[in-house]
Amino acid sequence: MNDNLIFSDEAGAALMAGEPVVALESTLITHGFPYPANVETALAMEAAIRDEGAVPATIAVLEGRITVGLVRAQIEHLAELGQQGVRKCSRRDLSLVVGLRQYGATTVAGTMIVAYMAGIKVFATGGIGGVHRGHPHDISADLIELGRTPVTVVCAGAKSILDLPLTLEVLETQGVPVLGYQTGTLPAFYSRSSGLPVDQRVDTPEQVAAIANARDALGLLHGTLVTVPVPEADALPQDEAEAAITEATRQADAAGIHGKDVTPFVLAKVLELTGGRSQTANIAALVNNAHVAAQIALAIAR
């Protein structure tokens, strides 16, 4: 096992035994949701993974120690520290929080790096970062990490706070296959379709496993993106989601927000503007993705 990492008993034992494990990020706990929805959602995702017969491993940096598999008290502690006490941790931030013994909440990029170090093949999240609307040079490090780290990332697409066509272009350049899980179009997070085609539709966890295994057999060191539409019952009507996003993005621009602060700012505004309805869709997507990711981890382990 990697000496730079600390494992929970549960995650450590599962990895030693070759049992299916699903990684989870921690930025959504500190920067993605308000309290207590953040703790509830993190625990609901873990429960969904266990329900399927896999083991969850929520990843974060605690006083400089990269931890794979947070226990409940650690999740609650991170939630209490919140955005002020915890650095949002992408590739460039990891050495800072480890070297200076800080707290770090891993983004999609940060979580992929640690999952790969830990030998975890599948990771469930909500929305990946992407290219920001109106700011084509603000390209999330998530997209670059997907191009260089062989982990299968299960998400609900990218939030349409982003420029989705440009996001797909960057993924193509980075060599990342975008799979649609039981769909031919890229999901738009709060709603089930952006109308943009994915590279390949897949219908079963076994198909995803076969593609991930082929990638590894070929020694292709890139990530694989599996996009799953939010469950129908909890989707936001597209025009409602769009209106909130347009207004939230406008406010972010007007307030001069940039860099890593854009995503948390816009998400909080969208929550406010939809009267909390974005959160219901968000949580439904996260829990559903956790189920699908666990099924894929089981298929890969077989």
Q: Which residues are catalytic?
A: 25, 159
Among 5, 21, 22, 28, binds ligand PSU (CB under 6 A): 28
Per-residue binding letters, 64-103, with ligand PSU (x by CB under 6 A): --------------------------x-------------
Least Cβ distance, residue 85 to ligand PSU (angstroms) = 17
Q: Which of residues 138-197 bind Mn ion (CB under 5 A)?
A: 140
Q: In this structure, are strands 55-62 and 21-24 parallel, antiparallel, or unpaired? A: parallel
Report yes or no: 181 and 228 within 8 Å, Cβ to Cβ.
Answer: yes
Q: Which one, 198 or 252, has the nearer CB to ligand PSU?
A: 252
Torsions phi, psi of 95, nearest 5? Answer: -70, -30
Q: Provide CB contacts within 8 A for 2, sequence distance 6+.
A: 117, 118
Least Cβ distance, residue 3 to ligand PSU (angstroms) = 26
Torsions phi, psi of 115, nearest 5? Answer: -60, -45
Q: Is 283 one of the binding residues for ligand PSU (CB under 6 A)?
A: no
3-state helix, strand, coil in the chain (%, to 5): 50, 20, 30
Q: Is 143 one of the binding residues for ligand PSU (CB under 6 A)?
A: no
Nearest one of 60, 78, 197 to 115, comparing CA atoms: 60
Residues of this chain that interact with Mn ion (CB under 5 A) are 140
Residues of this chain that interact with ligand PSU (CB under 6 A) are 25, 27-28, 31-32, 90, 107-108, 126-127, 129, 140-142, 159, 260, 263, 267
